[in-house]
Chains A and B, each alone.
Chain A
Amino acid sequence: MVHVRELSKVYRVHQRPPGLVPAFKSIFHRAYRNVPAVQSLSFDIGPGERVGFLGPNGAGKTTTLKMLAGLLHPTSGSALVNGFVPRERSVGLLKSITLVMGQKQQLLWDLPPAETFALNRAIYEVPPAQFQDTVRELSELLELGELVNQPTRQLSLGERMKCELAAALLHRPKVLFLDEPTIGLDVAMQLTVREFVRRYNERYGATVLLTSHYMEDVRALCPRVVVIDKGRLLFDGAIEELVKSVKPNKRIVLKLSRPVDGADAARFGEVMEHEPSRIELDVRPDQLQAAVAGALASLPIADLVVEDPPLEDALRELFRRSRTDGADSR
Chain B
Amino acid sequence: MRRLLAIYPTLLRVGFASALAYRAELLVWMLTTNLPLINLALWSAVAREAPVHGYGTPEFVAYYLSTQVVRLVTSAWVVWEMTTDVRQGVMAMRLLRPVHPLLDYSAENLAAVPLRAMLALPIAVILVVLESAHLSHDPFTWACVPLLIAGGWAMTFLVMSIVGTLAFFVESAGSVFELWLGLYAVFSGYMVPLAFFPHWLRVVADVLPFRLLLGVQVQAMLGQLSHADIARAFALQALWIAGLFVAVRLLWNAGVRRYAAYGG
Contact = CB atoms under 8 A, between A and B. Distances in A.
Interface of A: 11-12, 63, 66, 69-73, 87, 89, 91, 94-95, 97-99, 104-106, 108, 110-111, 115-116, 118-125, 151
B10 A119 contact: yes
B6 to A, nearest CB: 7
23 contacts: A63-B263, A70-B95, A70-B260, A71-B95, A71-B259, A71-B260, A71-B264, A95-B98, A97-B96, A104-B89, A108-B14, A108-B18, A110-B18, A110-B22, A111-B14, A111-B18, A111-B21, A115-B17, A118-B13, A118-B14, A119-B11, A122-B9, A124-B98
Given A87-B260, A91-B98, A125-B6, 15 more contacts: A12-B262, A70-B96, A71-B92, A71-B264, A72-B260, A94-B96, A94-B98, A98-B96, A104-B93, A106-B93, A118-B10, A118-B13, A118-B14, A119-B10, A123-B7
A104 B92 contact: yes
B264 A122 contact: no
A123 B98 contact: yes
Contacts of B104: 123
Contacts of A95: 98
B1 interface: no
Nearest to B99: A123
Contacts of B261: 72-73
Contact of B14 (A73, A94, A105, A119): A119
Given A71-B264, A110-B21, A111-B18, A123 B97 contact: yes
Contact of B11 (A69, A73, A122): A122
A69 B99 contact: no
Contact of B90 (A89, A104, A111, A125): A104
B96 A71 contact: yes
SS class of chain A's interface: helix, strand, loop or mixed? mixed
Contacts of B7: 122-123, 125
Contacts of B13: 118
A67 to B, nearest CB: 9
Contacts of A120: 97
Which 4 pairs of residues, A with B, have the shortest CB-CB distance?
A122-B10, A94-B98, A73-B260, A91-B98
B257 interface: yes
Interface of B: 3, 6-7, 9-11, 13-14, 17-18, 21-22, 89-90, 92-93, 95-99, 104, 257, 259-264
Contacts of B96: 69-71, 94, 97-99
A305 B222 CA distance: 92
A111 B19 CA distance: 10
Contacts of A115: 14, 17-18
B215 to A, nearest CB: 36
Contacts of A108: 14, 18
A94 B98 CA distance: 5
Contacts of B10: 118-119, 121-123
A66 B21 contact: no
A308 B7 CA distance: 53
Nearest to B104: A123
Contacts of B95: 70-71, 89
A229 to B, nearest CB: 19
Nearest to B257: A73
A11 B263 contact: yes
Contacts of B17: 111, 115
A105 B22 CA distance: 19
Contact of A122 (B6, B22, B90, B262): B6
Contacts of A104: 89-90, 92-93
Contact of A125 (B3, B14, B21, B259): B3
A287 to B, nearest CB: 50
A63 B13 CA distance: 35
Contacts of A121: 10
A94 B18 contact: no
A2 to B, nearest CB: 16
A38 B13 CA distance: 42
B107 to A, nearest CB: 10
Contacts of A98: 96
A115 B99 CA distance: 17
B118 to A, nearest CB: 20
Nearest to A67: B260
B92 A66 contact: yes
Most-contacted residue by chain B among A70, A71, A105 (CB, 10 A): A71
Contacts of B99: 123
Most buried by A among B6, B13, B96, B264: B96
Contacts of A69: 96
A12 B258 CA distance: 12
Contacts of B264: 71
Contacts of A97: 96
A302 to B, nearest CB: 54
A87 B98 CA distance: 14
A72 B257 CA distance: 9
Nearest to A171: B98
Nearest to A96: B98
A240 B257 CA distance: 41
A69 B6 CA distance: 25
Contacts of B14: 108, 111, 115-116, 118-119
**Taking each of A66, A98, A123, A124, which has the highest tally of chain B beta carbons within 10 Å of its own beta carbon?**
A123
